[in-house]
């Protein structure tokens, strides 16, 4: 077969800052998926996109080409509307766990196709796999049946959804092009649009522990994704949320499951509860239920009931003890004062080094590893009191985890000026 374009010409077009034609985009994504475009050539194109950007039309066409590389799902046969959420990733971000069953309380189906952690950011599937018996891999038939019966499912995305993205993401991860906004937006939105959800809420993280370190870049990414979703017929909104400090008081798989269950039991850290409720309100409004009261459903046990059914439906035992690390070590406050800063990125790296995360997608994770936080910014601390507890099965990891935390903590004489909300802004079409 004679190819209609030459790969080098496509690379040169974007390298020189010109706009790729719709036909060039369709071809290069398809040809890369087929193996006609080599990895080193797509690496060069990804770097050219990273450096020169893409127009709105180019991003939309690139996203459509990614979708066209695989199957498209539809939830039109379900008896209830669908709403989904996607987070751009952070440290201690366990929000999906209480959020999916909470939204399902109100007869809205939540098809939460999730992923695994890489580097300092945790993965939802890794967290849930800390629950004995729970399984991430479901067939489409099993997923649809669970959505109809329980109303919520959290599972791995099938290989048929946007296979071009899976191949390209792995390449971006090793070529320093992960942060390219056109490629982030098309990666996320190609999977979500192909998934077939009726509405989507994006949680775009901002701060040291996020891909987007500053608010302007995060707003640009959120706006791009909201436009892509809206143009594809998916009701899409985004919240910009703070990731300068870890969410909640735990970072690590079983530790975060435990904290999520506390939220579902009507307790838990205020920041986790507030963000869960804020995202639930967005999802419910998008699904046509703006008057629902998700905070009440956490308090009265309805969300916990759905959680237990959701975990059981996927083979998990919601009453089983969660794994605990074999070894712990405390990080003590060096002086009296107020905790002024606890850096999200540094805590995430420490949890990763303790065994909670992976450097390569093939790596295994320790279910019990991670970091437990006994104080958060604004809390008064005393010298010698524990600030953090480090958890791992392999105590030789403690030293490198401590190195990661060397610059993570600031203690001041007076309380820092802290925002009273984890939500920094909202983007809609």
Catalytically active residues are 86, 165, 172, 187, 191
- Neighbouring C-beta atoms of residue 291, cutoff 10 Å: 7
CA distance 45 to 36: 14
Q: Which two tokens stand for residue 10?
A: 């496509």
Q: Taking a C-beta distance cutoff of 8 angstroms, is the pair 182, 59 a contact?
A: yes
Helices (H), ranges, 214-371 = 215-231, 253-264, 270-286, 294-299, 302-313, 344-351
Strands 386-392 and 370-373, by their bridges, are antiparallel
Closest CA to 30 of 180, 173, 163: 163
Three-state DSSP state, 32: helix
Q: Taking a C-beta distance cutoff of 8 angstroms, is the pair 39, 173 a contact?
A: no
Closest CA to 106 of 243, 245, 285: 285
CA distance 23 to 115: 31
CA distance 108 to 101: 10
H or E, element range at 66: helix 56-68
Closest CA to 122 of 424, 328, 323, 354: 354
Q: Taking a C-beta distance cutoff of 8 angstroms, is the pair 192, 229 a contact?
A: yes
Phi, psi dihedral angles at 180 (to 5 degrees): -65, 115
């Amino acid at each position: 077969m004679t190819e209609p374009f030459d790969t080098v010409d496509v690379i040169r077009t974007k390298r020189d800052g010109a706009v790729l034609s719709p036909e060039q985009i369709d071809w290069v994504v398809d040809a890369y998926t087929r193996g006609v475009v080599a990895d080193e050539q797509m690496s060069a194109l990804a770097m050219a996109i990273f450096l020169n950007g893409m127009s709105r039309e180019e991003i939309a066409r690139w996203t459509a080409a990614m979708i066209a590389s695989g199957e498209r799902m539809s939830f039109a046969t379900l008896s209830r509307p669908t709403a989904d959420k996607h987070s751009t990733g952070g440290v201690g971000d366990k929000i999906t766990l209480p959020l999916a069953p909470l939204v399902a309380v109100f007869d809205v189906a939540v098809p939460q196709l999730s992923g695994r952690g890489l580097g300092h950011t945790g993965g939802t599937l890794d967290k849930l796999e800390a629950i004995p018996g729970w399984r991430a891999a479901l067939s489409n038939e099993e997923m649809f049946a669970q959505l109809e019966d329980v109303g919520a499912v959290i599972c791995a995305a099938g290989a048929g959804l946007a296979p071009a993205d899976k191949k390209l993401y792995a390449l971006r991860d090793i070529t320093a092009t992960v942060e390219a906004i056109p490629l982030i937006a098309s990666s996320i939105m190609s999977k979500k649009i192909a998934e077939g959800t009726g509405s989507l809420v994006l949680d775009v993280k901002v701060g040291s522990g996020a891909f987007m370190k500053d608010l302007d870049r995060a707003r640009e990414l959120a706006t791009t994704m909201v436009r892509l979703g809206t143009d594809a017929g998916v009701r899409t909104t985004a919240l910009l949320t703070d990731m300068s400090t870890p969410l909640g008081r735990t970072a690590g798989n079983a530790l975060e499951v435990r904290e999520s269950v506390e939220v579902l039991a009507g307790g838990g850290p205020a920041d986790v509860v507030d963000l869960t409720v804020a995202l639930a309100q967005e999802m419910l409004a998008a699904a046509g239920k703006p008057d629902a009261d998700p905070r009440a459903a956490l308090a009265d046990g309805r969300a916990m009931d759905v959680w237990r059914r959701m975990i059981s439906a996927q083979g998990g035992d919601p009453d089983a003890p969660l794994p605990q690390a074999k070894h712990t070590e405390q990080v003590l406050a060096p002086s009296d004062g107020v905790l002024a800063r606890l850096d999200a990125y540094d805590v995430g790296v420490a949890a990763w080094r303790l065994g909670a995360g992976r450097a390569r997608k093939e790596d295994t994770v320790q279910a019990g590893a991670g970091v437990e936080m006994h104080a958060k910014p604004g809390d008064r601390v005393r010298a010698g009191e524990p600030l953090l507890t480090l958890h791992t099965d392999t105590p030789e990891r403690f030293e490198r985890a401590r190195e990661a935390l060397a610059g993570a903590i600031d203690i001041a004489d007076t309380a820092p000026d802290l925002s009273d909300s984890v939500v920094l802004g909202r983007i809609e079409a």
